């Protein structure tokens, strides 16, 4: 197990791209909340590995609107089984679409899980790759985001996403 990270320049700041051996385990904003520990990030290295280069290229294509999905080896580390179930649901939200926390909660057992879904969404370690920015409040408002609501708004505008979920996804 060799955890290391590099920085990837994007229109929303330098993102910390974290890999563990041959899988991506994190993508964090410069002022991510909560900020990952030094152990979670591993040492800073140059972006010379094929995985770093491929992930950086795919992020660049995404920000140029040339890519709508990512084809990268991702691995969830940490979190509970419920967190991982929520993160898997996030991966099912199509580019340019939004769902509510309640939509995800209902798909996992009931609207009463909406707060727990919010916590799981907020602890997603793979921002952008696992599109938690596509989850909005039931009233259509942008709510908390580990990179800040300005970045969430930027990403949704980049994707030309509707702020109101009109169809059931799950």
Active site residue 132: yes
- Separation of alpha carbons 54 and 83, rounded Å: 27
C-alpha closest to that of 128 among 43, 45, 42, 56 = 56
Positive or negative: CA dihedral 16, 123, 131, 73: positive
- Separation of alpha carbons 107 and 128, rounded Å: 22
Given the residues 25, 132, 146, 161, select the one marked as catalytic: 132
Does 137 sit behind a cis peptide bond, omega within 30 degrees of 0 on the bond before it? no
* Cα separations in angstroms, 27 against 18, 19, 136, 139, 140: 6, 9, 20, 28, 26
Beta bridge partners of 15: 8
Residues serving a catalytic function are 132
């Amino acid at each position: 197990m060799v955890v290391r990270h590099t920085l990837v320049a994007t229109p929303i700041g330098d993102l910390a791209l974290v890999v563990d051996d041959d899988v991506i385990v994190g993508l964090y904003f410069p002022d991510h909340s909560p900020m990952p520990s030094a152990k979670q990030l591993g040492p800073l290295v140059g972006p010379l590995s094929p995985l770093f280069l491929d992930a950086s290229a795919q992020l660049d294509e995404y920000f140029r609107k040339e890519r709508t999905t990512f084809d990268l080896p991702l691995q969830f580390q940490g979190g509970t089984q419920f967190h991982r179930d929520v993160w898997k649901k996030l991966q099912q939200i199509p580019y340019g679409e939004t769902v509510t926390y309640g939509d995800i909660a209902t798909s996992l057992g009931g609207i009463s899980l909406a707060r727990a879904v919010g916590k799981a969404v907020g602890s997603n370690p793979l921002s952008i790759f696992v599109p938690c920015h596509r989850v909005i409040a039931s009233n259509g408002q942008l709510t908390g985001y580990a990179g800040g609501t300005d970045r969430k708004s930027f990403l949704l505008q980049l994707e030309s996403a509707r702020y109101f979920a009109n169809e059931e996804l799950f």
